[in-house]
Amino acid sequence: MDNETINPVITSQQQFDTAAAYIEHLQKGLVDFLKKPKHTHIVHFPIEMDDGTVKTFEGYRVIHNRVFGPSKGGIRYHPDVSTDEVTSFAKLMTWKSALMHLPFGGAKGGLVCNTKELSQNELKRITRRFTTELFDVFGPDTDIPAPDMYTNAQTMAWIYDTYDVLNSGKNNRPVVTGKPLALGGSLGRPEATGKGCMFATQRFLSKALIPDLTEIAGARVAIQGFGNVGSVAANEFHRQGAKIVAVSDSSGGIYTENGLDPDDISAFKQEHGTVVGMPNTLTLSNAELLECECDILIPAASVYQITADNAANIKAKLIVEGANDPTTPAADAILNQHGIYLIPDILANAGGVTVSYFEWVQNHANEQWELDHVNEKLQKKMVKAIDAVFKRWQDYRVGECQCPEAVEGVPPDFRTVALIVAIERVAEATLVRGLWP
């Protein structure tokens, strides 16, 4: 990537600065506060491995903001995880929660490890010790983790159990979300992010901004990543009448003009460990998938997939960011020039944290809601958030909202508008609370 420096801190700063330039009267001191994490916790601890050796692990929990309530965000286990990456994701969580009107701030956690090289018992010991190290940080009303890459419902069960053992006699279920159903997990949580992507797209398309693409039915959809988010999105879009023309996983992608049945893809992947090689499909590289002929492209794998190098080759009319941070700022500018719309991560994939919030509410009330109730509430939240961002985006175009001189009268794109709305809400709440002392 010759044209741009890709670094999570720089990227999230650029996105923030672009949005902040549209918010007049945002005091510099407040900008500094909103840019920086509230707390960064770095922990090290030794673990006895199955073979009797001892290994030291490094983990992070970054709390970006707590203006609206307890901080909320996933924990990822990955060899490349860093404080920079975790900090930028913690910020995304603040904006995402604000955009969805959830009473949460933003946080993120990470542990440097390769889960593929660890046994279940080692993972359990690591998770329990990591939880112990962060015992004073986590709490049902202070900081609430959730699963992220290479962590899952089982990891959350271990965190809950450890926390509850150390702090017994209370209802500690709301200390984590994304738990197994048996421990108070919510119906609909595993599907929430992919389903939320579908609800967001449905609402966005209904605004009739893209000629010949006003509904999901009939749209050709390409999805990068066939994990939790990608596979559920494939099912949801297929159920709405879309043609799933391409999907991929870390081994590569497949394409067919005629469309694929997501159940067949799942069955094939279950048997062969990858989607590649499915009968009657063309094999694509992951780079080719992003540039294939389609109407809607859903990056649902990892960061920085759409960059200055490939943005100009994208043929989709709409990009729906299932993954966090899949598009770089330079790519955003190119997509804009090419008239390609994009529903940004903090809006498109906010279904996950939204149903996590529902889980937290159910846990506090010791209730279990029906699946239909969860999905109806999710749809309402997604529709409301899309409408708020869309209205503001339109206001900039019809002159209801003035673009400050600092941005030379250029109206902001959807990512920027979503960020403007979120930042304004957090800034307003900060000032209304009053700066203490």
72 carries a ligand binding annotation? yes
CB 364 within 8 A of CB 83: no
Give residue for tokens 């900081």.
143
Nearer Cβ to ligand NAD (160/226): 226
Q: Which residues contact 366 (CB under 8 A, 6 or more apart)?
A: 171
- The CA-atom distances, in angstroms, between 437 and each of 34, 106, 433, 434 are 18, 23, 11, 8
Nearest approach, Cβ of residue 3 and ligand NAD (Å): 20
Nearer Cβ to ligand NAD (240/286): 286
214 carries a ligand binding annotation? no
Nearer Cβ to ligand NAD (117/212): 117
Nearer Cβ to ligand NAD (7/430): 7
96 carries a ligand binding annotation? yes
Nearest approach, Cβ of residue 189 and ligand NAD (Å): 8
**Cβ neighbours of 343 (radius 10 Å):** 26
| Annotated active-site residue in 91, 108, 243, 269 | 108
CA 110: distance to chain centroid?
15
Nearest approach, Cβ of residue 333 and ligand NAD (Å): 22
108 an active-site residue?
Answer: yes
Tokens standing for residue 406? 């600092």
| Helix 83-99 and helix 371-398, axial crossing angle in degrees, nearest 10 | 90
For 11-44, b/e burial (b = at least 16 CB within 10 A) is bbebbbebbbbbbeebeeebbebbeebbeebebe
Residues lying near ligand NAD in the complex (CB under 6 A) are found at: 148-149, 193, 224-230, 248-250, 286, 300-302, 322-324, 349, 352
Nearest approach, Cβ of residue 135 and ligand NAD (Å): 25
CB 259 within 8 A of CB 244: yes
Numbered residues of the known binding site for NAD(+): 193, 228
Name the residues annotated as catalytic: 108
Numbered residues of the known binding site for substrate: 72, 96, 356
